[in-house]
Structure 1
């Protein structure tokens, strides 16, 4: 239940002395790790820190994909399909956290495209393998990620759209010529952007 649905409680909280409100606020903030990260970024960091975060995340994602590629070493078994699915989901989770903390739409699109490019470069042979349910889940998820990246790209200013257009076009073309094709058709993503 929301405080806004209980006007008496809201009035009582607002009537508390500042010191009591501050204590209550700190206790509540401590219960939400993401809020702590968000507040730290908003209150204590600047544009330089954002660039450092972006560079760190870029290296982290690239290392994640390099290590995964070494461990799978062109293995196209069912386990590899499952591992690629977990890898892409994990990488997207890292980007979700970055976006929630920084609210930086440009780096979010950059990293969504980076994941898809790394996938194409390192694991396209695994994506093409068919192991029924596992492949279906991976294909469905990847098509949804391409759709999501395309939607985020559409919301960018046209100058940024221009910067990312070639990368996104490469990903869409690859997807439409791969096992993802029927899944992408369901999302009505244009083949030429």
Structure 2
């Protein structure tokens, strides 16, 4: 049920006493973990907390990279997806589009693109890893283009480093086929 479909409900809710509205609001917030975290961030945290969140994510990534290099491509794909999901959660909580792009570029730059071959299914998982990695790069580049020019300029060196890494690896042919630029 959407609130927009029930105009009378919206009117009645706005007319509720403050105490009752607060009670209902708190019950609703408790049902959504991301909303609770977003409100905590918005109401109780400041710019330094945002930087701390970014640094914590970077630290977690740095701690996972050495382990990532020892994994098969299938295991690495699962870990990389989890890292990107963590950045997506960061964005849902903070609504920091610049931080989201910055963190994804950071992760994509750190992730090795060559993995041990597993006994079974390397070709399939190698293809899945390459596809996921390049699609994530493309999505991140598109998001970076929507940022203010100054932020695009600030991120351009890291983006070009990422693109250089891709075009000097086994992913170059797939990157060319998916029309990834060689530089921004």
| TM-score greater than 0.5 by the shorter chain | yes
Cross-structure match for 2:160: 169
Cross-structure match for 2:17: 17
Task: Measure, in 1, the Cα distance between the counterparts of 2:132 and 2:116.
Answer: 11
User: Does residue 98 of structure 2 align to residue 106 of structure 1?
Assistant: yes
CA contact (8 A) 1:127 1:179 kept: no
Task: Write the deviation string for residues 128-185 of structure 1: whole angstroms up to 9, x where unpaired.
Answer: 9982211111111001111012112212222222222122112223323433334433
Q: Secondary structure at the match of 2:122?
A: coil
Task: Tell me which stretches of 4 or more aligned residues in structure 1 moved more than 4 Å.
Answer: 127-130
Cross-structure match for 2:43: 43
Task: Measure, in 1, the Cα distance between the counterparts of 2:19 and 2:114.
Answer: 61
Which TM-score applies when normalising by structure 2?
0.88
Cross-structure match for 2:78: 86
Mark the runs of 5 or more structure 2 residues left unpaired by the alignment. none
The structure-2 alpha-carbon separation of the partners of 1:146 and 1:181, relative to structure 1 and needing over 3 Å to count, comes to same
The structure-2 alpha-carbon separation of the partners of 1:127 and 1:163, relative to structure 1 and needing over 3 Å to count, comes to farther
Which TM-score applies when normalising by structure 1?
0.84
Cα RMSD of the aligned pairs, angstroms, is 2.2
Q: Secondary structure at the match of 1:188?
A: coil
Q: Secondary structure at the match of 1:53?
A: helix
CA contact (8 A) 1:128 1:179 kept: no
Cross-structure match for 1:149: 140
The structure-2 alpha-carbon separation of the partners of 1:178 and 1:26, relative to structure 1 and needing over 3 Å to count, comes to same
Mark the runs of 5 or more structure 1 residues left unpaired by the alignment. none
Q: Secondary structure at the match of 1:124?
A: coil
Question: How much has 1:189 moved relative to structure 2?
Answer: 2.3
Task: Write the deviation string for residues 70-116 of structure 1: whole angstroms up to 9, x where unpaired.
Answer: xx1xx6xxxx0111101110100111111111122222222111111
Q: Secondary structure at the match of 2:31?
A: coil
Count of residues paired in the alignment: 182
Q: Secondary structure at the match of 1:160?
A: helix
State which of 115, 118, 141 in structure 2 corresponds to 1:126: 115
CA contact (8 A) 2:91 2:100 kept: yes
Q: Secondary structure at the match of 2:115?
A: helix
